[in-house]
Amino acid sequence: MRDIFPVNEKAAQLPCQAMSGRKLNTEQRYSTSPPAHFQPLLADILLDKIDPAFADNWDSWWRILAAYRNSGGSLERFIEWSHTEKYNVPKQVERGWNNCKLTAGIGTLAYYARLSGNPDIDQELRKQHTGQISFRCNLPRQNPKPVVDAVKARQMFIDPWAGSDAATLEKKLLERSNPKPQGKSGADDLLMVLGMFRNEEILCCPKHTYDIGTANRDTASGWRERLMSGESPREFFIPNPHTGLEGTTQDGKPSWRADNCFNRRYAIIEFDLMPLADQMNLWISLIDAGVRPSILTFSGSKSIHALIPAATDAEVATIFNIFLPMGADPHTRNVGRMTRTPGAIRMDKGTVQRLLYMNFEVAK
């Protein structure tokens, strides 16, 4: 990890425990649940604190729906909250409400409330309702000090480059890259990225979904030969190599895409809710501070996907403890997660998923 987060003069100022060498508390601790009759009220309060922008992301919308429903919330109230451009048909919401089987609860609502700019929501609720009832809320307890001070992080890493246009920011990322990516469609940049993997390692490159059948699995050298023979880059790839063996899900069912089918190599970091220019500002400053991702890829829409070397779940937890308070997507931590392939065309937008930055020494 010190190769990725070296402690130099500027990096040592990063307002987080990971840089200062302090031990990170990565465990989620839960106390007893609030009384059943209070959960619907608590669910309503938390839902009001959650940014409706999370309703435009299917994964977060689905988790919030499950948590709110399981906590006793009403369908009518959830339809009102989730009425966005994407989810604006009440019948669709009702169908999801009736079919959802996720076991999320109050803790999930509190999690998204904190991501929406309410870091002390659990303490506020305890103070607000102490005179009405006595309860210990089933919310994840916070560390005594945040892993990252998001306000200071913004002042240090985003604000210095504020006002620069996208072309200037892309140029600055290119200047810091070694080797220099082409940043265009086609196989050139992907061939460089394949150099991050050993020839015999198996990579999954689904076309549009999580289908990782035989046609979508090949060795790194196999994919290289296919690209050089004229095959176009697939829209997605899974940066953690596949074992080549069938695994089992948490339910004990056989699966080729279960987490135990993959060997951990990278953590994926992306920011769906942060403006694209701010994302570029952040990565430029972090690279200058010594935080070194292997690659940065423009998704073709509104985010940059970063691959950061991580060999264990503990290292992944450390990385997410740093980036989550800054607004990173919390749903990219599983080992079988897909990311956007450099050089491919994003089908729903018709845009190029450009490789913006590469650090080959870190990637190797």
Boundaries of every domain in the chain: 36-129, 150-363
Pairing mode, strands 345-346 and 254-255: unpaired
Contact 256, 212 (CB under 8 A): yes
Non-local (6+) Cβ contacts of 45 within 8 A are 125
What is residue 147's predicted lDDT score, i.e. its pLDDT? 52
DSSP 289: T
Phi, psi of 201 (to 5 degrees): -70, 140
Assigned CATH class of 150-363? alpha beta
CA 135, chain centre distance (Å): 33
Query: What pLDDT is stored for residue 307 in this prediction?
Result: 96
CA 219 to chain centre: 26
pLDDT recorded at residue 108: 84
Measure the CA–CA gap between 356 and 296, rounded to whole angstroms.
Answer: 5
Distance CA 144, CA 353 (A): 40
Q: How high is the pLDDT of residue 110? A: 84
* Total Cβ atoms within 10 A of residue 299: 18
Listed in sequence order, the residues at least 6 apart from 247 whose beta carbon sits closer than 8 Å to its beta carbon are: 254, 255, 256, 258, 259, 260, 261
Res 10: pLDDT: 45
Looking at the DSSP bridge assignments, the partners of residue 236 are: 340
Tokens encoding 244: 């080549």
**CA distance linking residue 241 with residue 264, whole number of Å:** 7
| Confidence (pLDDT) at 138 | 39
Residue ranges in the chain whose pLDDT is less than 50:
1-35, 128-146
pLDDT, residue 54, reads 83
Do residues 27 and 143 make contact, with C-beta atoms less than 8 angstroms apart?
Answer: no
The whole-angstrom distance between residue 354's C-alpha and the CA centroid of its chain comes to: 19
Q: Which residues contact 362 (CB under 8 A, 6 or more apart)?
A: 3, 4, 292, 293, 294, 309
Determine the Cα–Cα distance for residues 224 and 240; give it in Å rounded to an integer: 17
Neighbouring residues of 296: CB distance < 8 A, sequence distance ≥ 6: 173, 283, 304, 305, 306, 355, 356, 357, 358
Tell me how crowded residue 181 is: count the other CB atoms within 10 A of its CB. 23
| Sheet hosting strand 217-219, strand order edge to edge | 217-219, 202-204, 236-242, 339-340
